A = this chain, B = another copy of it.
Amino acid sequence: MITSPDNEKLKTIRKLRQKSWRRKLGLFVAEGEDLVGAAAAVEWPAEFELRAGADVEPELLAEVSALGSGSRVIGVYRQRWSEPHGRLSVYLHGVEDPGNVGTVIRSAHALADGPVILGPGCADPFSPKAVRASMGSLFARPPARVGDPAELPGRLLPLDAHASATLHEARLEAPVVLCLGAERAGLPAELAAEAVRIPVATDSLNVAMAATVALYEVANRMAAHA
């Protein structure tokens, strides 16, 4: 039983709140039974797991929690990235909010069974907030990354709230990559050509909601034509 805050495992968990340490160690933290269970479900082994009352004093575990939610279990995992793949996936460009990144990872898994591909300027998908927002989909469908959108494979389908064409008019030939930018900055110019907008929506959907709706629409149409 760990009874000292100076324990090395607790120190590691504290460090992993910081992106620089996550990058250096190649590790990340998942808090709570749901997430630790999601890792186990896909046989993604923990480097170590700490359970309150069994492995560590509950107060000490609460102290290292990044989420302040009184987690009863914390697991530390080695990061994994996938390659872009799948009939339908999502590319995010410059999406800085970790909650949005995690939510889109969850939506892409739930609606398209596909991964999210992260481009420049995106939040770290292994940050505590992104991991929590993904609700385990991070383990089921680890994200991919590209340094330049030119590397993206397949038919790119950029979304832009101000485009004149709508998603209904888009040609869908698998593999399709839905491309979304940050809410204000949008997509880079080379991706903004041939963009479509989400019908019936005003421009006030956030990037996670826009991705979710577009995934739903495209997954439905691809399923109908499969």
Question: For the complex, is A22 an interface residue (Cβ under 8 Å from B)?
Answer: no
Whether B204 contacts A136 by the Cβ 8 Å rule is yes
Chain A 87-121 residues near chain B, CB threshold 8 A:
103, 106-107, 109-112
Question: For the complex, is A127 an interface residue (Cβ under 8 Å from B)?
Answer: no
Whether B109 contacts A204 by the Cβ 8 Å rule is yes
Instruction: Give CA–CA (A103, B109) in the complex, Å.
Output: 20
Question: For the complex, is A65 an interface residue (Cβ under 8 Å from B)?
Answer: no
Given A200-B223, A223-B200, are A110 and B216 neighbors across the interface (CB < 8 Å)? no
From A110, A135, A199, A205, residue with most partner B Cβ within 10 Å = A110
Question: For the complex, is A49 an interface residue (Cβ under 8 Å from B)?
Answer: no
Question: For the complex, is A82 an interface residue (Cβ under 8 Å from B)?
Answer: no
Least CB distance from A38 to B in Å reads: 10
> Which of B135, B201, B216 is close to A200, meaning CB atoms less than 8 Å apart?
B216
Question: For the complex, is A7 an interface residue (Cβ under 8 Å from B)?
Answer: no
Nearest-CB residue, chain B, relative to A199: B220
Nearest-CB residue, chain B, relative to A213: B216
A58-78 toward B: CB 8 Å interface, digit per residue (1/0)?
Answer: 000000000000000000000
A-B contact pairs, 29 of them (CB 8 A): A103-B206, A103-B209, A107-B205, A107-B209, A110-B201, A110-B202, A110-B204, A110-B205, A110-B209, A111-B201, A111-B202, A111-B205, A111-B213, A112-B200, A135-B206, A137-B204, A199-B220, A199-B223, A200-B219, A200-B220, A200-B223, A201-B216, A205-B212, A208-B209, A212-B212, A212-B213, A213-B213, A213-B216, A216-B217
| Additional A-B contact list (18), CB under 8 Å, known A111-B200, A111-B201, A216-B217 | A103-B209, A106-B209, A109-B204, A110-B201, A110-B205, A110-B209, A111-B202, A111-B205, A135-B206, A136-B204, A137-B204, A199-B220, A199-B223, A200-B223, A205-B212, A209-B209, A212-B213, A216-B216
